[in-house]
Amino acid sequence: MAVEILMPALSPTMEEGTLSKWLVKEGDTIVSGDILAEIETDKATMEIESVDEGVLSKILVAGGTDNVKVNQVIAILLEDGDDENAEPVKEAIVSQETVPENNIVEEEAENIESMTPVAIEIDVPAGTKMVPTTIRDALRDAMAEEMRRDDDVFLMGEEVAQYEGAYKVSREMLDEFGARRVIDTPITEHGFAGLGVGAAFAGLKPIIEFMTFNFAMQAIDHIINSAAKTRYMSGGQMSCPIVFRGPNGAASRVGAQHSQDYAPWYGHVPGLIVLAPYDAADAKGLLKAAIRDPNPVVFLEHELMYGEVSDVPEMDDWLVPIGKALVRREGTDATITAHSRMVGFSLQAAEILAKEGISVEVIDLRTIRPLDEETILASVRKTNRLVTVEESWGRMGVGAEVAAMVTEGAFDYLDAPPKRVHQVEAPLAYAANLEALAMPSPERIAQAVRDVCYV
């Protein structure tokens, strides 16, 4: 029976990729384990191998094709005795690192793309060209611009140099800046975080990349005890200008140890600045601001959003101020606060609710610490209702803090108790259905807004 070879998903977040090169040609006899092609994903170039045997009858997607969707048929394999015209069976290729795709999360990720970014409040001169940019490239551009500007800035972490970043964030940086300033470390988070803090004490401005913030728990002593506290403990003598950055939050189907939003962990600590951008313009502008800031900054990216595209103003120095939230959508009936990927979910919820006649204001916190209390309070004083949204657990979370702050600062304006939407109080499950049930969704957010509006 003819077998359809499908474009495989080679990572949990892959939706499409480049079929760089076929390593077999039509008419070749294939045995199981043969390397068929090279595929470039959002993270890496990988070889894929066949699980089936037969003769490669047709190549449907030529080598060098970009944006090949996962599960698209890329070739047909005829097994012994097959008729070329027989109805083919779909067969994904398996590679060593193939991870099953997650339909639920991918569906949500597509929904995010449909969001319309709202104008940024900072003055962008009229006529400034807006360049559609992935968050991945926005981050890279921010680091590269700051490294061109200041020789004290360097990037260090696992796989940041030759591999160009586990998520390809540091693409081409080794080529431009060389091994002195783009430094591959051993897998040694505690050690290189401490080394980075020591270098910052000596006046350098390190950017320390964690492959994910889940791994930064090995290093959290240096982030808190060494980086955050030293200025205070030294009576203001010592400075620690360092950025800790990397993907944060729940990815898709990677299990509990790789799925966590650390915003409330670091947001708890005086002496740290904590940032969590949503779109590419903020990713770039906030990271540049973080690198220039004299304080230790925890910069939380989202693993599922690196490939998201939005406009970045083409300016010599695009900086977004730390400590300022952004009203992403104006509304009158309820306020939603969210950060990172949950901003997209909240905007979708606002769309759903608009159709029901409920007008929602969506605030993108952007900076978790220090929290922009003024913007949140002003909004709640207008809408009189608050829903907080986050990926992390609810207890002692960002939403808990926002709700407490609003209760203290605008109690008389509230027409309903604030409501929190967050991950359920359990480690994140691997099973697709449980994972989806555990996390906030646009519908769940919309329901929370209906609840506080008593409809």
From CA 163, how far away is CA 170, in angstroms rounded? 9
From CA 12, how far away is CA 254, in angstroms rounded? 8
* Span from 79-87, 217-225, 356-364, 417-425 in contact with another protein (CB under 8 A): 217-225
The residue written with tokens 């045997």 in the block is 53
Residue choice 232, 426, 434, 443 for contact with another protein (CB under 8 A): 232
**Residue 274 C-beta: closest distance to another protein, Å:** 12
Rg (CA), the chain: 24
Closest to another protein by CB, 232 vs 430, is 232
Closest to another protein by CB, 163 vs 201, is 201
Residue choice 225, 359, 407, 447 for contact with another protein (CB under 8 A): 225
* Span from 68-76, 291-299, 399-407, 414-422 in contact with another protein (CB under 8 A): 291-299
Task: Clarify whether 258 is annotated catalytic.
Answer: yes
| Interaction of residue 373 with another protein, rule CB under 8 A | no
From CA 455, how far away is CA 449, in angstroms rounded? 9
| Interaction of residue 230 with another protein, rule CB under 8 A | yes
Length of the chain measured in residues: 455
Closest to another protein by CB, 156 vs 353, is 156
Angle CA(405)–CA(407)–CA(412) in degrees, nearest 5?
135
| Interaction of residue 409 with another protein, rule CB under 8 A | no
Beta strands in 339-394 (DSSP E): 360-364, 367-369, 386-393
Closest to another protein by CB, 114 vs 234, is 234
The sign one gets for the Cα dihedral 78, 83, 85, 89 is: negative
From CA 431, how far away is CA 438, in angstroms rounded? 11
Closest to another protein by CB, 48 vs 224, is 224
| Interaction of residue 239 with another protein, rule CB under 8 A | yes
Q: Enumerate the H helices of 63-181 as residue ranges.
A: 103-113, 135-149, 173-177
Return the residues of window 132-161 that contact another protein according to CB under 8 A. Answer: 154
Q: Enumerate the H helices of 390-441 as residue ranges.
A: 398-410, 432-438
**Residue 342 C-beta: closest distance to another protein, Å:** 26
* Span from 11-19, 229-237, 311-319, 440-448 in contact with another protein (CB under 8 A): 229-237
What is the size of the binding site for another protein (CB under 8 A)? 40
Nearest residue to 249 via CA among 393, 142, 63, 449: 393
The residue written with tokens 């990397």 in the block is 246
HSE-up (13 A, CA, CB side) for residue 442: 22
Residues 338/346, Cβ–Cβ less than 8 Å: yes
| Interaction of residue 327 with another protein, rule CB under 8 A | no
Six token digits for residue 348: 């979708």
Task: Clarify whether 268 is annotated catalytic.
Answer: no
The residue written with tokens 């980086």 in the block is 227
**Residue 236 C-beta: closest distance to another protein, Å:** 4
| Interaction of residue 337 with another protein, rule CB under 8 A | no
Nearest residue to 311 via CA among 343, 348, 342, 285: 285
Helix (H, G, I), strand (E, B) or coil at 186: coil
Closest to another protein by CB, 64 vs 270, is 270
Q: Which of 4, 108, 159, 258 is catalytic?
A: 258
Residue choice 237, 316, 357, 412 for contact with another protein (CB under 8 A): 237
Return the residues of window 159-198 that contact another protein according to CB under 8 A. Answer: 180, 185-186, 188, 190-198
**Residue 197 C-beta: closest distance to another protein, Å:** 6
Please report, in angstroms and rounded to a whole number, the separation of the first and last CA atoms in the chain: 57
**Residue 276 C-beta: closest distance to another protein, Å:** 18
| Interaction of residue 222 with another protein, rule CB under 8 A | yes
Note the residues at the interface with another protein (CB under 8 A): 154, 180, 185-186, 188, 190-204, 221-222, 225-226, 230-239, 270-271, 273, 293-295
Catalytic residues: 189, 258
